[in-house]
Amino acid sequence: MKAATPSAEKIRPYARRQAAARLDRLAYEMGRSRKSADVEAVHDLRVSIRRLASCLKAFPEFFSSAGKRKVRRRLGEIMALAGEVRDLDIAIELGRQAGLSAESELLAKLAGERTEAARRLRLVLKHSVKRGMTEKWRGRLGL
């Protein structure tokens, strides 16, 4: 962590509260998506990841570099998996809007790919929750 200026010291409690709140929300969304990786849950998971990452980026001097790096790397892995699921959700919706029937070969293929992508995401989330990942992140970030 860099040495904080006096005005930065006034911001530190706010930055930490914001990061803690965003981490709490992420923990909730991880649990929710682990149980059901439906369209809305995956979208909300991605939003919660982006919001925590933005908070860490906005207030870098208040969190250790090593802690941020580890947290952001793992967030990136989860985001990539959630992104695969979300991309397939969008492709399926576009196919429906184009008039394809649910039984069409293309939508069936996309649905199968989505099921597999969601399975991989849920497996990683299950492992992360089981290992207490968000609590470890809380410690690494000093929250």
pTM of this prediction?
Answer: 0.87
Say yes or no to pLDDT of 3 above 70: no
Residue of 41 and 6 predicted with greater confidence: 41
Domain 6-141 is in which class? mainly alpha
Residues 88, 121: Cα–Cα separation, whole Å: 13
Answer for the pair 117, 85: CB distance below 8 angstroms, yes or no. Answer: yes
pLDDT band at 43 (very low <50, low <70, confident <90, very high): very high
